[in-house]
């Protein structure tokens, strides 16, 4: 009835019967008004001016009658629930070094940071999932000793319980040298970095039955060797707080950003997976309360609460899709990069696209000249934004070494 009253009020009394109507707006001057021609209907009289004025009148007169009563009609409908990401108190500057540790989502973000020309070291010893494994690796890297590396041999390859499956060697000497080198690289990076990004995957960890030591990965070894353990909120908070405290004693200017991976661990069951995520969220919240230098970026909420659609998941329906990862990366840039860093990323974009180009003949003189020009542009851009003299990103970083750090043993108290 309200709609029919509205049409009557605006001179369209017989719309549904397709009778002649007066094609004009209410406030048109008399000279602009004209009666409908014989047989002309409402649909036939849809001139552009009338449609615009009719819609404006509809918004002013009809929508307010229903807004606030049924909640069905909205002037600006919402098709998603936005998740706010608070800007960092210490945003990333373009020349500052970063370290990314944790789950496969940390690898996603670290790869994007490297592709966009930022200085980042990402998971030098492979993917890590639980707080205890991350803290134990950081402890070994800061301690700098390699005398107690937990090494083992399986199927003709040597591995380390501290590292992921990507780290392996043909002999004990090879794996010892490899792990020692990467631990030294990580330790130096943590001492000089301005930002550490830690992505937590789950609160479930595995211990060796013989020693009780937490392992980073089971390396497809028999299940009888391990004991599954679910860390409590207090244990996660304590081990992460201890890790941040140890790092700040050596690098007081370090800023730590925690995230929780949106990947669902279906092998534990979805209910237990959600419990593990809740444990991590509560623990990170507690750490951020204890440490002023720690903050939280809502990657988990961005996927589950804002995107929350199957098209934002990969084929396994568990990992974020490349589209979702790109969106979370954009939100990360908005909240965690400084204005100067955003300008740098924007200027670096043509270089990134050029480096990603796949040539038909990589050995041609034209392509070599193209790459040389790209490297020259990249060098000029890095000089403009105050990067260190040493090449970064694809190579090494400029770091200062510091020896004789006081040992801490918080990782063994969980």
Same domain flag for 357 and 272:
yes
On the question of pLDDT at 312 being above 90, the answer is yes
Residue 84 located in a structural domain: no
Residue 79 located in a structural domain: no
Q: Residue 412's pLDDT is what?
A: 40
Weakest-pLDDT range from 6-20, 28-42, 198-212, 324-338: 6-20
Higher model confidence: residue 69 or residue 218? 218
Same domain flag for 153 and 262:
yes
Residue 73 located in a structural domain: no
- pLDDT, averaged across the chain: 82
Same domain flag for 55 and 190:
no
Give the domain extent around 265. Answer: 97-412
Higher model confidence: residue 273 or residue 406? 273
Neighbours of 12 (CB within 10 A): 18
On the question of pLDDT at 181 being above 70, the answer is yes
Residue 85 located in a structural domain: no
Q: Residue 4's pLDDT is what?
A: 46
Q: Residue 249's pLDDT is what?
A: 96
On the question of pLDDT at 3 being above 90, the answer is no
pLDDT band, very low/low/confident/very high, at 56 (cuts 50, 70, 90): low
Percent of the chain with pLDDT over 70: 74
Q: Residue 48's pLDDT is what?
A: 52
Q: How large is the average pLDDT for residues 367-380?
A: 95
On the question of pLDDT at 359 being above 70, the answer is yes
Residue 235 located in a structural domain: yes
Q: How large is the average pLDDT for residues 113-136?
A: 96
Residue 322 located in a structural domain: yes
Q: How large is the average pLDDT for residues 61-85?
A: 58
Higher model confidence: residue 116 or residue 402? 116
Same domain flag for 131 and 173:
yes
Angle at 364 between CA 359 and CA 368, to 5 degrees: 80
CB proximity list for 182: less than 8 A, separation 6 or greater:
124, 125, 163, 167
CB proximity list for 185: less than 8 A, separation 6 or greater:
121, 124
Q: Residue 406's pLDDT is what?
A: 34
Looking from the CA of 242 toward its CB, the CA atoms found within 13 Å total 22
Same domain flag for 6 and 101:
no
Residues 312, 357 contacting (CB under 8 angstroms): no
Residues 264, 273 contacting (CB under 8 angstroms): yes
Which of the listed residues 66, 88, 109 is the one where a domain comes to its end? 66
Could you give the maximum distance between any two Cα atoms of the chain, in Å?
A: 99
Residues 128, 164 contacting (CB under 8 angstroms): yes
On the question of pLDDT at 347 being above 60, the answer is yes
* Cα gap 349→148, rounded to integer Å: 44
Let me know if 261 is exposed, middle or buried by CB neighbors in 10 A (0-12, 13-18, 19+): buried
Same domain flag for 147 and 29:
no
pLDDT band, very low/low/confident/very high, at 258 (cuts 50, 70, 90): very high
Higher model confidence: residue 45 or residue 405? 45
Nearest to 279 by CA among 265, 267, 292, 291: 265
Q: Residue 235's pLDDT is what?
A: 98
Same domain flag for 35 and 182:
no
Give the residue ranges of DSSP H helices in 207-313.
233-250, 270-290, 299-301
Helix (H, G, I), strand (E, B) or coil at 208: strand
Count of structural domains within the chain: 2
Residues 318, 266 contacting (CB under 8 angstroms): yes
Same domain flag for 48 and 104:
no
Which of the listed residues 66, 84, 118 is the one where a domain comes to its end? 66
* Cα gap 280→273, rounded to integer Å: 11
Q: How large is the average pLDDT for residues 241-270?
A: 96
Same domain flag for 233 and 322:
yes
pLDDT band, very low/low/confident/very high, at 388 (cuts 50, 70, 90): confident
Q: Residue 148's pLDDT is what?
A: 78
Same domain flag for 307 and 402:
yes
Higher model confidence: residue 52 or residue 203? 203
Higher model confidence: residue 63 or residue 325? 325
For strand 195-200 and strand 214-215, is the pairing parallel, antiparallel, or unpaired?
A: unpaired
Nearest to 307 by CA among 283, 327, 291: 327
Same domain flag for 357 and 213:
yes
Give the DSSP H/E element, type plus range, for residue 347: helix 339-355
Structure tokens at 133: 């494994």
Q: Residue 8's pLDDT is what?
A: 43
* Cα gap 160→133, rounded to integer Å: 12
Higher model confidence: residue 71 or residue 151? 151
Q: Residue 390's pLDDT is what?
A: 55
On the question of pLDDT at 271 being above 50, the answer is yes
Higher model confidence: residue 333 or residue 404? 333
Q: Residue 53's pLDDT is what?
A: 57
pLDDT band, very low/low/confident/very high, at 62 (cuts 50, 70, 90): very low
On the question of pLDDT at 97 being above 80, the answer is yes
Residue 90 located in a structural domain: no
Same domain flag for 166 and 284:
yes
Residue 45 located in a structural domain: yes
Which of the listed residues 17, 49, 66 is the one where a domain comes to its end? 66
On the question of pLDDT at 23 being above 50, the answer is no
Higher model confidence: residue 151 or residue 55? 151
Q: How large is the average pLDDT for residues 286-309?
A: 96
Residues 151, 175 contacting (CB under 8 angstroms): yes
């Amino acid at each position: 009835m309200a709609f029919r009253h509205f049409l009557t009020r605006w001179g369209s009394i017989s719309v549904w019967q397709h009778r002649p109507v007066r094609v004009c707006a209410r406030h048109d001057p008399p000279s602009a008004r004209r009666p409908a021609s014989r047989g002309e209907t409402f649909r036939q009289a849809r001139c552009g001016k009338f449609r615009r004025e009719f819609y404006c009148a509809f918004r002013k007169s009809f929508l307010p009658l229903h807004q606030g009563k049924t909640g069905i009609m909205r002037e600006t409908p919402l098709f998603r629930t936005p998740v706010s990401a608070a800007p960092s108190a210490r945003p990333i500057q373009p020349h500052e070094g970063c370290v990314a540790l944790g789950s496969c989502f940390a690898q996603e973000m670290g790869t994007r940071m490297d592709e966009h020309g930022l200085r980042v070291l990402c998971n030098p010893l492979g993917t890590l999932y639980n707080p205890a494994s991350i803290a134990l690796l950081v402890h070994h890297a800061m301690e700098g000793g390699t005398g107690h590396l937990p090494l083992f041999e399986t199927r003709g390859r040597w591995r380390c319980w501290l590292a992921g499956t990507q780290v392996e060697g043909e002999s004990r000497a090879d794996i010892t040298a490899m792990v020692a080198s990467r631990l030294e690289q990580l330790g130096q990076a943590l001492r000089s970095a301005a930002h550490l990004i830690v992505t937590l995957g789950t609160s479930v960890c595995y211990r060796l039955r013989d020693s009780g030591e937490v392992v980073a990965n089971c390396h497809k070894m028999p299940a009888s060797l391990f004991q599954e353990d679910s860390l409590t909120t207090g244990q996660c908070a304590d081990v992460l707080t201890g890790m941040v405290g140890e790092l700040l004693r050596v690098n007081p200017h370090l800023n730590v950003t925690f995230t929780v991976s949106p990947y669902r661990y279906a092998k534990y069951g979805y209910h237990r997976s959600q419990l593990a995520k809740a444990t991590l969220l509560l623990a990170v919240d507690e750490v951020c309360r204890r440490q002023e230098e720690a903050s939280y970026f809502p990657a988990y909420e961005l996927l589950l609460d804002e995107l929350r659609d199957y098209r934002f998941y990969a084929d396994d329906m568990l990992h974020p899709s490349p589209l979702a990862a790109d969106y979370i990366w954009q939100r990360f840039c908005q909240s965690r990069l400084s204005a100067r860093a955003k300008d740098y990323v924007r200027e670096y974009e043509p270089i990134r696209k050029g480096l990603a180009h796949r040539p038909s003949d990589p050995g041609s003189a034209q392509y070599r000249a193209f790459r040389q020009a790209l490297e020259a542009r990249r060098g000029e851009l890095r000089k403009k934004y105050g990067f260190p003299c040493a090449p970064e990103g694809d190579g090494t970083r400029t770091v200062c070494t510091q020896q004789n750090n006081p040992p801490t043993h918080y990782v063994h108290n969980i």
